Amino acid sequence: YLLKLKIMTRFIVKTIFFLLFTTSLIAQKKENRHRAFYIDNFNSILGSYNSETELLKYCKDHNFNALIIYDLNKVNKSTPLADKNTNKVLANFISRAKKEFGIVEVGASGENGSFFINVIHKYNQSRNSSYEKFDVYNLEYEYWKENDSAPKGYYCEEYLKPNGIPCTREGTFAYFMESLNIMKLLASESKHKIKTEAYVGTFKENETEKLIKYVDRLLIHAYVQSPQSAYHFVKKRLNYLASINAKTNVSILFSAENKFMGKYFEKNLPETAEAEFIKEMEKNDPEISKKLSCNGFIYYTYSYFKKSHSYYSYLKSQKGTNIDD
């Protein structure tokens, strides 16, 4: 009897230890998850203490730990960002985000290499404190959109033709890769650690190895209406990456626009969306998490999400309503 009791006690102790260890790992994984907001309309936020505080408090309240800032070209026109005498307002914002609101990465979004050379990198070089610097260079150039790169399209007229590059898929992809190469070179010469990342839509299999050559993180858009369908939307692209044993970090990009997941976020939290995506992914391909580092989520955008999620807050405030069940 005593022997059986010892064996059972040992088994129970081991089981409890295993459960505690597993729970700890899961909690740690969630805690370390990269969750970023694309910040739109930034030129109307920067410089207003109340608007900045509202944004940063919202990020903290919803457990966002990273920002990707749009509209820096507009900010630069009114407040030259390469000039340390005029860029203090941006430096103060980035510093507050990191010191007071738990933001661990602030990214600058741009659509060509020259913008990073002439504006973003010079801004970083002009600031002494790491708290004031950008930590991520984010490229947003949608080379896969045929109309934009075709003759008379925006990319064709703005970037390709002036540089003698053909207005074709091959030409626009080459321009995209040149920008990534520039960003990687800038990051490599910086004493302050800088990650490079790119937002991508529908890339081809033969583009995959080239894509991961210059980025630390790929942001793959899943512009659909639910987290479950999001996995199936990105599955082919995840498999492209897994097939070449890509070590690049992968983040899934959800859109809170009304035609995509705006309705979903009226009744659900980001944590729910992420859990449902991961559950669907592991159900369909349990090996994928071993092949890829796919543990980050990006939300497009701050204003879209806030608008959708305000309905969630309204429902929560109604007595007797429990929308989390």
> Two tokens at 103?
């933001």
Total residues belonging to the chain: 325
- Residue 5 located in a structural domain: no
Confidence of residue 295 (pLDDT cuts 50, 70, 90): confident
Give the β-pairing of 136-139 and 195-200: parallel
Mean pLDDT of 126-141: 99
- Residue 215 located in a structural domain: yes
Q: How much of the chain exceeds pLDDT 70, in percent?
A: 86
Q: How much of the chain exceeds pLDDT 90, in percent?
A: 82
CATH code assigned at 169: 3.20.20
Query: Residue 196: in which H helix or E strand, if any?
Result: strand 195-200
Q: How many domains does the chain have?
A: 1
Mean pLDDT of 75-99: 98
In this structure, are residues 164 and 94 in contact, taking their beta carbons and an 8 Å threshold?
A: no
* C-alpha span between 63 and 73 (Å, rounded): 28
Q: Name residue, tokens 């992420």.
A: 274
- Residue 9 located in a structural domain: no
The amino acid present at 77, given as its one-letter code, is K
In this structure, are residues 58 and 27 in contact, taking their beta carbons and an 8 Å threshold?
A: no
Among 137-141, 147-151, 278-282, 289-293, whose mean pLDDT is lowest? 289-293
- Residue 124 located in a structural domain: yes
**Bridge partners of residue 197, in order along the sequence:** 138, 217
* Counts of helices then strands in the chain (DSSP H, E): 14, 8
* C-alpha span between 71 and 311 (Å, rounded): 27
In this structure, are residues 312 and 268 in contact, taking their beta carbons and an 8 Å threshold?
A: yes
pLDDT reported for residue 305? 98
Does the structure show a pLDDT above 50 at 219? yes
Per the prediction, the chain carries an average pLDDT of 91
- Residue 141 located in a structural domain: yes
CA trace torsion 159, 37, 82, 138 (10° rounding): -40
Cβ burial, residue 80 (10 Å; 0-12/13-18/19+)? middle
In this structure, are residues 69 and 140 in contact, taking their beta carbons and an 8 Å threshold?
A: no
Mean pLDDT of 95-104: 99
Read off the pLDDT of residues 36-64 as tens digits, 9 standing for 90 and up: 999 999 999 999 999 999 999 999 999 99
Task: Give, in order, the Cα–Cα distances in Å from 34 to each of 63, 68, 139, 221.
Answer: 10, 12, 18, 15
Give the pTM.
0.88
Q: Residues 252, 254, 255, CA angle at the centre, nearest 5°?
A: 150
Mean pLDDT of 193-208: 97
pLDDT reported for residue 74? 97
Q: What is the span of the domain harbouring residue 99?
A: 36-317
- Residue 12 located in a structural domain: no
Read off the pLDDT of residues 9-39 as tens digits, 9 standing for 90 and up: 665 545 444 344 334 334 444 557 899 999 9
Residue 204 Ramachandran class (φ > 0 left, ψ -120 to 50 alpha, else beta): beta
- Residue 11 located in a structural domain: no
Mean pLDDT of 92-98: 99
Mean pLDDT of 235-260: 96
Does the structure show a pLDDT above 90 at 317? no
- Residue 77 located in a structural domain: yes
